Amino acid sequence: MKKIYILFIMALLFAISCSTEKKENLIDLNIPWKFKAGDNMAWVAPSFDDSKWVTILPNKIWEDQGFEKLDGFAWYRIRFLLPSSLKEKSLMKDSIQFLLGRIDDCDQVFLNGEMIGQNARTQAIKKAPGNEFIKEQGIWNTERRYVLNVNDERIMWDKENVIAVRVYDQNGAGGMFSKPFAVSMVSFGDYVKFDFTKNTFVFRNDNFISRKFTIENRSGKDDFSGILSLNVISYSTGAVLFHKDTALKLARNSKTETGFSFQTDPSKPSSAEIIFKENLSGQSVTENMELPYILTPAEKKEPRINGARVFGVRPWSPFLFKVAATGEVPLKYSAKDLPEGLTIDSINGLITGALKKKGEYLVNLTVKNISGTATRNLKIVCGNTLSLTPPLGWNSWNCWGLSVSDEKIRQSAEAMKSSGLIDHGWTYINIDDGWEYMHDKDGKILTNSKFPNMYTLCSYVHSLGLKIGIYSSPGPKTCGGYEGSYTFEEKDAEAYAAWGIDYLKYDWCSYGNIAPNPTKAQLKHPYQVMKKAIRKVNRDIHYSLCQYGMGKVWEWGAEVDGNSWRTTGDIEDTWESLSGIGFSQGKCSPYSAPGRWNDPDMLVVGWVGWGPALHYSRLTPSEQYTHISLWSLLSSPLLIGCDLSQLDAFTLNLLTNDEVIAVNQDPLGKQATRAKANESYEVWVKDLEDGSKAIGLFNLTEKPLNVPVDMKDIKLKGRWNMRDIWRQTDLGAVEKHFEMNVLPHGVMLIKVIQN
Ligand code: GLA
């Protein structure tokens, strides 16, 4: 039987932002450029003959275009005609801009042989040969927009112009990427900019939703008066659900704080169109944004047991397992057939003690409240393998960066508990880089002044029923320049155990100076050294390798007893980063197993920012559903990266869907594989322990899309019952084929169970 399930039928243009500039008013540079690795200042000359250079696209890093191993300098060149009609046609005639996407790491840009701009980050400057490269500081992942006055002598109107870009890349991904690549006049839309990242949506109980934002007028010359309009548009019908106009004056060089508030049904996806239309010129700037929609159903009063169903521990290690359960409080916890050495606290659901003997123990958990009783089995496996399901927790890096402190860790742990995340299985509170000071004369690692007492901090986190993690590097220094573990591995492992650490993230960083061009054996070596050290102490420490996937770590991470290993460079809160990392994980799938997880990096939802200043995740709500769904299908560690003390309603809802988390925590521990993919969509399938399958249908495009699936694409025969995992509702049966309408960059996560 064909079951066609269509959720949303209306195609609605989805764009993060757009200005009113028309295509003919720009010169498109998103075309092949000339490219050469190396460095030679003679390459700035407009007359230089680059015809023998290879061609490369500017919108993709060079690793994706055949230059996998390239680090250091490389040059890009492009020639184009610059007609004066460009400025004549433009309403604003003062300035011209060169838009060069983003550049990893840093760049100097030359127009017709003369430099017109540069951007760099400090580390890259220090490393560049001769240290002469770029004096200014900048962030690599920043918009490259270089602006000149139209009368600037470097511009050749009505003639051929040459742009040469000198790029320096430190390691990992390199070169030009992202978008836009163009030359255009600076227009109204370049002066007036919306900024939505400083605030997020606030839901009120009566279904009112509000958001503050700022509008910046970057012009130093002009004030702009106009109308700010808001249209809320339904995804399913295309109808305008709400409209409002407000008169607004934007003084030159100013930022105006404004906002909107309207009533909506948060379970129905819709989008907002925000327009500022200037009175005199009639020009406007528009921003389209998807509004947050809530998929996870409200928690029930009846008790429900969540989180891991299988738990690994080593004999004699201190045992700590929190039975995660929701339902109206107070809840009363009990456990039948607990092995000798373990007890359960009936009030907080903590199982503690120690097991003496290796073996498998099946425990029957019960949670009761005034509305009912829930029971579930927990398999305890006492042996050598830890983390039999992927770790669920939080890590300080994606929000606090190096500004992490004892106080922030305590706040995060408290929020993990008070927000209720702990009741859905979230367990670890991990301190990333920034806690270290130095080794003393006895080789003991000392904490810096932000962490006055690591032992009391660990004890506090444990007292909340949570576990705590720490970070170090096998090199002399961490990536943030703090003290690493090099030559102090045993001492450090002893210190971690004495403090009560449960998780170690061990980050390659400056080990690159010790093994500059590492062989496979050299890549493994520092991880083997620390493995021996942490496996010697009487504490179960999840061992998380972080070396960005070098030497296909997924093939040998288990050999060095890693419980998880990062498969990629650092993630960011952009669709490019998320989709680039997430959809490239298929190659690692065969190596994932209970206790051995591929780690495509931490979650970028909520308030993130790499500290101390935070911004709201730039991912759309649908992209965030994709993030959590894909990471769950991939059996990835789920480490929340945001400020837990500021969890908004959307993020909390996103992180507390027990059926989604159950996909991640499935005891079979099989990572999803890609069943079907093209330029527009991807379909991933994960085998689950009970014989059912979790299937993710992902829309890669910027419009709603029907994703078709033939059951033979996913190798299924017979009749299967389908369930919408996010909405936790049954969808009926399917035999041969089904299709689902998926939101832009969004997902439908379903489970099929043999009928
Ligand atoms: C590297 C890691 C990040 C973080 C920082 C800390 O970049 O990949 O996850 O741990 O180091 O300096």
What does the radius of gyration of the chain's CA atoms come to, in whole angstroms? 27
Residue 110 CB contacts under 8 Å (≥ 6 apart), including other chains: 44, 116, 163, 164, 165, 166
Taking the centre of ligand 1 as the mean of its atom positions, its distance from the CA of residue 436, in whole angstroms, is 14
Of 354, 312, 359, 305, nearest in space to 332 by CA: 305
Amino acid making up residue 295: L
Bridge pairing between strands 693-699 and 747-754: antiparallel
For a ligand 1 pocket test, name from 104, 546, 565 the mutation site with the most ligand atoms within 8 angstroms of its C-beta: 546
- Provide the token pair at 168: 């320096």
Q: Which residue has the tokens 């002009």?
A: 222
In a domain, 298, yes or no: no
Distance (Å, rounded) from C-alpha 639 to C-alpha 544?
12
Quick one: 460 and 553 in the same domain? yes
Distance (Å, rounded) from C-alpha 672 to C-alpha 686?
4
Report the domain count for the chain: 5
Distance (Å, rounded) from C-alpha 596 to C-alpha 590?
11
Taking the centre of ligand 1 as the mean of its atom positions, its distance from the CA of residue 505, in whole angstroms, is 9
Q: Which pLDDT score is estimated for 132?
A: 45
Q: Is the CB of 480 under 6 A from ligand 1?
A: yes
- Provide the token pair at 157: 């109107």
Q: Find the DSSP H helices in 265-405.
A: 397-400
Report the nearest atom of ligand 1 relative to the CA of 570: 8
pLDDT digits (tens, 9 = 90+) for 541-584: 999 999 999 999 999 999 999 999 999 999 999 999 999 999 99
In a domain, 302, yes or no: no
Quick one: 646 and 678 in the same domain? no
In a domain, 297, yes or no: no
Report the nearest atom of ligand 1 relative to the CA of 471: 10
Report the nearest atom of ligand 1 relative to the CA of 398: 9
- CATH code of 180's domain: 2.60.120.260
Quick one: 92 and 195 in the same domain? no
Q: Which pLDDT score is estimated for 69?
A: 83
Taking the centre of ligand 1 as the mean of its atom positions, its distance from the CA of residue 529, in whole angstroms, is 20
Distance (Å, rounded) from C-alpha 188 to C-alpha 283?
7
Taking the centre of ligand 1 as the mean of its atom positions, its distance from the CA of residue 586, in whole angstroms, is 23
Phi-psi region of 361 (alpha: psi -120 to 50; beta: other; left: phi over 0): beta
Cα 600 from chain centre: 9
Boundary (domain end) residue, out of 382, 408, 441? 382
Residues of the chain with pLDDT under 70: 1-24, 121-138
Quick one: 598 and 744 in the same domain? no
Q: Is the CB of 478 under 6 A from ligand 1?
A: yes
Residue 715: Cβ within 10 Å count: 9
Q: Is the CB of 383 under 6 A from ligand 1?
A: no
Q: Is the CB of 398 under 6 A from ligand 1?
A: no
Q: Is the CB of 506 under 6 A from ligand 1?
A: no
Domain that holds residue 738: 674-754
In a domain, 31, yes or no: yes
Taking the centre of ligand 1 as the mean of its atom positions, its distance from the CA of residue 433, in whole angstroms, is 7
In a domain, 576, yes or no: yes
Report the nearest atom of ligand 1 relative to the CA of 480: 12
Quick one: 173 and 140 in the same domain? yes
Quick one: 176 and 198 in the same domain? no
Q: Is the CB of 570 under 6 A from ligand 1?
A: yes
Q: Is the CB of 572 under 6 A from ligand 1?
A: no
Q: Which pLDDT score is estimated for 249?
A: 97
Taking the centre of ligand 1 as the mean of its atom positions, its distance from the CA of residue 293, in whole angstroms, is 32
For a ligand 1 pocket test, name from 121, 570, 640 the mutation site with the most ligand atoms within 8 angstroms of its C-beta: 570
Boundary (domain end) residue, out of 337, 357, 382? 382
Report the nearest atom of ligand 1 relative to the CA of 479: 12
Q: Which of 71, 195, 570, 687 is catalytic?
A: 570
Quick one: 435 and 496 in the same domain? yes
Distance (Å, rounded) from C-alpha 270 to C-alpha 272?
7
Q: Are 693 and 716 in contact (CB under 8 A)?
A: yes
Q: Is the CB of 479 under 6 A from ligand 1?
A: yes
In a domain, 300, yes or no: no
Question: By alpha-carbon position, which residue is closest to atom 1 of ligand 1?
Answer: 479
Cα 505 from chain centre: 18
pLDDT digits (tens, 9 = 90+) for 31-87: 999 999 999 999 999 999 999 999 999 999 998 899 988 988 999 999 999 999 999
Model pTM? 0.87
Quick one: 177 and 209 in the same domain? no
Quick one: 231 and 118 in the same domain? no
Taking the centre of ligand 1 as the mean of its atom positions, its distance from the CA of residue 639, in whole angstroms, is 14
- CATH code of 518's domain: 3.20.20.70
In a domain, 296, yes or no: no
Q: Are 696 and 629 in contact (CB under 8 A)?
A: yes
- CATH code of 728's domain: 2.60.40.1180
Quick one: 655 and 692 in the same domain? no
- CATH code of 246's domain: 2.60.40.10
Q: Is the CB of 507 under 6 A from ligand 1?
A: yes
Quick one: 228 and 335 in the same domain? no
For a ligand 1 pocket test, name from 432, 473, 566 the mutation site with the most ligand atoms within 8 angstroms of its C-beta: 432
Question: By alpha-carbon position, which residue is closest to atom 5 of ligand 1?
Answer: 479
Q: Is the CB of 433 under 6 A from ligand 1?
A: yes
Mean of the per-residue pLDDT values for the chain?
Answer: 92
Quick one: 317 and 283 in the same domain? no
Of 67, 70, 103, nearest in space to 176 by CA: 103
Question: By alpha-carbon position, which residue is closest to atom 4 of ligand 1?
Answer: 397
Amino acid making up residue 405: S
Q: Which pLDDT score is estimated for 459?
A: 98
Give me the DSSP letters along 414-452. Answer: HHHHHTSGGGGT--EEE--SS-EEEE-TTS-EEE-TT-S
Q: Is the CB of 546 under 6 A from ligand 1?
A: yes
Q: Which of 222, 406, 423, 507 is catalytic?
A: 507
Boundary (domain end) residue, out of 629, 646, 669? 669
507 catalytic per annotation:
yes
Q: Is the CB of 647 under 6 A from ligand 1?
A: no
In a domain, 592, yes or no: yes
